[in-house]
Chain A
Amino acid sequence: MSQIKSLADLKKKREEIKTGLDLRVKAIDPENHVQVKVAMATCGIASGAKPIMEFFVEQLDRRNIPGIVTQTGCMGYCFAEPTVEIKLPGKDPVVFGYVDLKRADLIIEKYIKEGELIDGIIPVNYETIDSKE
């Protein structure tokens, strides 16, 4: 099928893919998934957050990494946009700044896959003295 023009085409294509290989049932359990949050306020969008988000959605799927990609608002790091917050299961979130497609690729390969930190991390502390006791 060459073109998808209606919901019926969409369903048909989906069923074709399903019968082929796709048996992954993505139960949404955020705790066991990589969570990617792309900052998408005015500053982020103007700096190119949209293609970054599309990249993460596409590449996590293509590289078989169970993950959830969502958007978030401005975190106050407008100077470093686009920024992306990554939370690996069982770890504290890490915020990466100045993310372009090349760095997004690096983030997936180095940090998400290997847990290795790369340059350009914005030091963010989510814990307050109170929550530490």
Chain B
Amino acid sequence: MLTLALNILDIVQNSIRAKASEISVDIIESKKTDLLEIGVGDNGKGMPEELLSKVTDPFVTTRTTRKIGMGLPLFKYQANLAGGDLSIESGEGKGTRVKVTFILGHVDRQPLGDIAGVMTILMSANPEISFLYSHKTDNGDYRFSSVETKEYLGIKNFNDSHLLMDIKEMINENLKDIGVSDLN
């Protein structure tokens, strides 16, 4: 995983597998406090305390095709490299919220990467899930909702590649406006 956006794409798969109907990705970055915080929340089935306590162990996974689950451990590793950490709140039937922190200016912090592309991929591949993306910086914030977009455009799903490219462009333009720089 070379960028934080790819890590986000990866752990959102956990939310999808937990049968979430709403998934939110919140990013807060501040040059003033030199902090970057990424939150991924869902309303999926959550997990029991026993699993929660060992879920960042790479040898723990709920899937049956293989015995190793690297999504959360890799993300945690990246956070630890950049002076931050990963924490998870979850309860059965309550959904799950993963919070990952970084020192924004840390040399080992991965660049954010193509977060707009990741959001459009997620929306097009999972039309039944509602995605909410918000990004806050010192200069302002931007919020994107897949449900609002669908309603506004009067469409049911995002299966038109031109539209997807336009949405990606729209997100990118807005992110640039609020001073997000490491989008590649």
List A residues at the B interface (Cβ < 8 Å): 3-7, 9-11, 13-14, 17, 26, 28, 40-43, 45-46, 50, 53-54, 57-58, 60-62, 68-71, 73-76, 78
Contact = CB atoms under 8 A, between A and B. Distances in A.
A74 B66 contact: yes
Contact of B170 (A4, A17, A58, A76): A4
Interface stretch (B40-48, B82-90, B156-164): B156-164
Interface of B: 1, 6, 9-10, 13, 17, 63, 65-66, 69-71, 74, 114, 117-118, 121, 124-126, 148-149, 152-153, 157, 159-167, 169-170, 173-174, 177
Contacts of B162: 17, 61
B14 to A, nearest CB: 10
B177 to A, nearest CB: 8
A85 to B, nearest CB: 13
7 contacts: A4-B170, A14-B166, A26-B159, A40-B13, A41-B10, A50-B114, A76-B65
A5 B161 contact: no
A40 B7 CA distance: 11
